[in-house]
């Protein structure tokens, strides 16, 4: 609805878009800084807005909720996951496709340190964790139809496909939890493989 005549231009040159991008980054950085400094619940929207130099009203226009100030948008995440799965070779099974999707998702983080910091924050804050889990199940639901095609040849019904997707995400979560417990030691994907091996063994 915003820019209709943009075609596929690489650098969106309009001043509005640039300012918007800057403000987004500024807000996001400020929020993350304050959250890690004094805790999520102890940080108010008013404070973030003040220190980021925008009004509360504008902040809420950029990010719908306080929880959104943590991670990339859910939409972006869903797109990445579904596209990655879709791009997998036709002969790849559902498990491989899901693994590839997780790998792609993990590569979004700029550094393991930042990932650790973020995971820790989400993991230790009830409201944040709940919000994350909500996004997670919505991702699962979006992924289900994409994977059903890959599972139909094996004679799997919808319910079983759902169980497989849910299991993959569960093992991914378990892997990040274990990774977190070890303060970022090792590779999340390795932990994921080990967990899945224990389950499917």
Taking each helix axis from N to C end, the angle separating 188-200 and 158-181, rounded to the nearest 10 degrees, works out to 130
> Does residue number 194 form part of the binding site for a second copy (CB under 8 A)?
yes
Q: How far apart are CA 84 and CA 86, in angstroms?
A: 5
Q: Which of the ranges 19-27, 96-104, 108-116, 174-182 carries the binding residues for DNA, by CB under 7 A?
A: 19-27
> Does residue number 162 form part of the binding site for a second copy (CB under 8 A)?
yes
> Does residue number 175 form part of the binding site for a second copy (CB under 8 A)?
yes
Q: Which of the ranges 6-14, 15-23, 46-54, 167-175 carries the binding residues for a second copy, by CB under 8 A?
A: 167-175
* Helical (H) or strand (E) element with 74: helix 74-87
CA dihedral 46, 48, 51, 57 (to 10 degrees): -60
Q: Closest by alpha carbon to 152, among 106, 93, 84?
A: 93
Out of 1, 111, 126, 183, which residue is the one contacting a second copy (CB under 8 A)? 126
SS3 65: coil
Question: CA–CA distance from 177 to each of 74, 78, 158, 182 (Å)?
Answer: 20, 21, 28, 9
> Does residue number 6 form part of the binding site for DNA (CB under 7 A)?
no
> Does residue number 23 form part of the binding site for a second copy (CB under 8 A)?
no
> Does residue number 142 form part of the binding site for a second copy (CB under 8 A)?
no
What is the number of other CB atoms lying within 10 angstroms of the CB of residue 5? 5
x/- map, 59-98, DNA, by CB under 7 A: -xx--xxxx-------------------------------
Residues that bind a second copy in the complex, under the rule CB under 8 A: 126, 129-131, 133-134, 137, 156-167, 169-171, 173-175, 177-178, 181, 191, 194-201
């Amino acid at each position: 609805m915003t820019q209709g005549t943009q075609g596929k231009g690489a650098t969106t040159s309009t001043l509005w878009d640039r300012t918007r991008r800057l403000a987004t980054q500024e807000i996001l950085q400020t929020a993350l800084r304050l959250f890690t400094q004094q805790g999520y619940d102890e940080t108010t929207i008013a404070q973030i807005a003040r220190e980021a130099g925008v009004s509360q009203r504008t902040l809420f226009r950029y990010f719908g909720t306080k929880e959104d100030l943590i991670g990339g948008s859910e939409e972006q995440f869903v797109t990445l996951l579904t596209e990655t799965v879709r791009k997998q070779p036709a002969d790849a099974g559902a498990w491989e496709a899901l693994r590839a999707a997780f790998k792609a998702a993990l590569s979004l983080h700029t550094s393991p340190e930042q990932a650790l910091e973020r995971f820790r924050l989400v993991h230790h804050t009830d409201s944040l964790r709940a919000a994350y889990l909500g996004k997670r199940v919505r991702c699962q639901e979006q992924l289900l139809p994409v994977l059903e095609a890959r599972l139909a040849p094996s004679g799997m019904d919808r319910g079983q496909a759902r169980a497989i997707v849910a299991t993959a995400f569960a093992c991914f979560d378990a892997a990040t939890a274990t990774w977190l417990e070890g303060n970022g030691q090792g590779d999340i994907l390795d932990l994921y493989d080990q967990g899945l091996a224990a389950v499917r063994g």
